[in-house]
């Protein structure tokens, strides 16, 4: 039984995390912090938690949080997060960080995309990118786990098995992602006002989304070479889920069956990645409210394109569930503890 804290508990990743932690067999939640709800019972902020957790939101005090917790989840905006994480790490606490602050290894890339200097560049080398399928053993040793972004999780898992294959063209990658609106968080904005995004699809941050360098870092690492991607996120009128449709050019002669085999081999020991049969395509409803990433592949022989479709829950494998998976690895719990649940269908 470990004691954990959640810093920034009143956003969607925070509430989803609490939902998991209150049911986790090895965890006790000791501290929940908030900016906007200080002094309020967490179950009054989120009535769905009524009966599960009797804690009031407190203003963040790093000292106190460190004193009462073994491990801390930090769900703050970038730059703010870096300061808190580095303080907590300095006190010997293990931290799982939801922000982008420790995902990019190269502070110059961080500064280019985020437009600010990194406050703790010396820690970048120590933090581990928390995608267990790629970095499980490093995560187990990490003091800071940088929990991946939602889009990168779905995109990297979809690309990893082929990225090293000689028969694909690493300059041809196009990632077209469709996300539910909860991915945008709980901050008010006309873009996420019900009547403005209901019954509407829209692309945003075309060619400029901050998840691009994160995707490129990870697949470049796999490829052993610098890889660039085209990435377009879209906002979809639903609450949860990311479907990524990914296009890569391949040599002729490959079949869907081949590629399914390549993917199954790559993920054969992974409990949370499911490769679908040839001809089957995942939908976001298959993974909603779960830690799964479902992947389907199709070969377009007319055009020599491989089309990969991956489905995750942006708050699930794309955020809070993956954070719990990381905690399980960090703490030596069973990796699937508290997250081995089928999606909420329908």
Q: With binding defined as CB under 8 A, does residue 232 bind its own copies?
A: yes
**Token pair 């993917």 in the structure block, residue:** 263
Q: Which stretch binds its own copies (CB under 8 A): 89-97, 124-132, 223-231, 258-266?
A: 223-231
Question: What is the per-residue DSSP string for 225-236?
Answer: S----EEEEEE-
Q: With binding defined as CB under 8 A, does residue 113 bind its own copies?
A: no
Distance CA(289)–CA(286), nearest Å, equals: 9
Distance CA(129)–CA(59), nearest Å, equals: 28
Q: Which is nearer to its own copies, 67 or 203 (CB)?
A: 203
Task: State the minimum distance, in angstroms, from the CB of residue 33 to its own copies.
Answer: 19
> Which residue from 15, 65, 120, 291 is in contact with its own copies, where contact means CB under 8 A?
15
> Which residue from 189, 225, 226, 255 is in contact with its own copies, where contact means CB under 8 A?
189
Q: Which is nearer to its own copies, 91 or 305 (CB)?
A: 305
Tell me which residues in 156-185 interact with its own copies (CB under 8 A): 174, 176, 178, 180-182
Q: With binding defined as CB under 8 A, does residue 26 bind its own copies?
A: no
Helix (H) / strand (E) element for 263: namely helix 256-266
Task: State the minimum distance, in angstroms, from the CB of residue 218 to its own copies.
Answer: 17
Distance CA(215)–CA(262), nearest Å, equals: 21
Tell me which residues in 268-307 interact with its own copies (CB under 8 A): 271, 274, 276, 280-290, 292, 294, 296, 298-303, 305, 307
Tell me which residue of 338, 216, 242, 254 sits closest to 294, measured CA to CA: 242
Q: Which is nearer to its own copies, 102 or 266 (CB)?
A: 266
> Which residue from 40, 117, 202, 334 is in contact with its own copies, where contact means CB under 8 A?
202
Task: State the minimum distance, in angstroms, from the CB of residue 292 to its own copies.
Answer: 8
> Which residue from 204, 253, 265, 334 is in contact with its own copies, where contact means CB under 8 A?
204
Q: With binding defined as CB under 8 A, does residue 40 bind its own copies?
A: no
Pairing of strands 230-235, 128-129: unpaired
150 is catalytic: yes
Residues 6 or more apart whose Cβ sits within 8 Å of residue 241? 179, 180, 284, 285, 287, 288, 311, 312, 313, 314
Tell me which residue of 280, 333, 266 sits closest to 311, measured CA to CA: 280
Q: Which is nearer to its own copies, 86 or 289 (CB)?
A: 289
Distance CA(267)–CA(297), nearest Å, equals: 14
> Which residue from 38, 108, 203, 257 is in contact with its own copies, where contact means CB under 8 A?
203
Q: With binding defined as CB under 8 A, does residue 238 bind its own copies?
A: yes
Tell me which residue of 146, 134, 143, 123 sits closest to 221, measured CA to CA: 134
Q: With binding defined as CB under 8 A, does residue 67 bind its own copies?
A: no
Question: What is the per-residue DSSP string for 53-112?
Answer: ---B-B---HHHHHHH-SEEEE---TTHHHHHHHHHHHTT-EEEE-SSTTT-S-HHHHHH
Q: With binding defined as CB under 8 A, does residue 47 bind its own copies?
A: yes
Distance CA(322)–CA(339), nearest Å, equals: 9
Q: With binding defined as CB under 8 A, does residue 87 bind its own copies?
A: no
Tell me which residues in 321-340 interact with its own copies (CB under 8 A): 340
Q: Which is nearer to its own copies, 123 or 175 (CB)?
A: 175
Q: Which is nearer to its own copies, 140 or 184 (CB)?
A: 184
Active-site annotation holder among 150, 197, 293, 331: 150
Distance CA(133)–CA(112), nearest Å, equals: 28
Q: Which is nearer to its own copies, 35 or 196 (CB)?
A: 196
**Token pair 């002669």 in the structure block, residue:** 253
So which residues are the catalytic ones? 150
């Amino acid at each position: 039984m470990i004691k954990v804290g959640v810093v920034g508990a009143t956003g969607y990743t925070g509430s989803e995390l609490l939902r998991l932690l209150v049911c986790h067999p090895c965890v006790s939640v000791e501290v929940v912090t908030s900016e906007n709800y200080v002094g309020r019972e967490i179950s009054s902020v989120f009535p769905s938690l009524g009966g599960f957790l009797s804690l009031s939101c407190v203003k963040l005090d790093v000292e106190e949080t460190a004193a009462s917790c073994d491990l801390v989840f930090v769900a703050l905006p970038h730059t703010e997060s870096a300061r808190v994480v580095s303080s907590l790490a300095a006190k010997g606490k293990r931290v799982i960080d939801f922000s982008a602050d420790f995902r990019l290894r190269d502070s110059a890339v961080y500064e280019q995309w985020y437009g600010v200097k990194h406050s703790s560049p010396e820690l970048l080398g120590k933090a581990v990118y928390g995608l267990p399928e790629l970095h499980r053993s490093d995560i187990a040793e990490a003091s800071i786990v940088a929990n991946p972004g939602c889009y990168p999780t779905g995109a990297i898992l979809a690309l990893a098995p082929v990225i090293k294959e000689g028969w694909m063209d690493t300059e041809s990658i196009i990632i077209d992602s469709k996300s539910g609106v909860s991915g945008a968080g709980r901050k008010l904005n006309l873009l996420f006002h019900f009547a403005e995004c209901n019954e509407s699809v829209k692309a945003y941050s075309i060619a400029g989304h901050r998840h691009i360098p994160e995707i490129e870092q990870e697949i470049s690492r796999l490829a052993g070479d610098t890889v660039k991607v085209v990435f377009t996120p879209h906002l979809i009128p639903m609450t949860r889920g990311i479907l990524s449709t990914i296009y890569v050019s391949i040599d002729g002669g490959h079949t869907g069956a081949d590629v399914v085999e390549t993917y199954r081999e790559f993920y054969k020991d992974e409990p949370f990645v499911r490769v679908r049969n040839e001809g089957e395509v995942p939908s976001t409803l298959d993974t909603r409210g779960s830690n799964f990433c479902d992947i389907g592949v199709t070969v377009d022989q007319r055009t020599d394109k491989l089309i990969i479709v991956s489905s995750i829950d942006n708050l699930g494998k794309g955020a809070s569930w993956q954070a719990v998976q990381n905690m399980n690895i960090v703490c030596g719990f069973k990796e699937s503890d508290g997250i081995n649940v089928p999606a909420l269908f329908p």
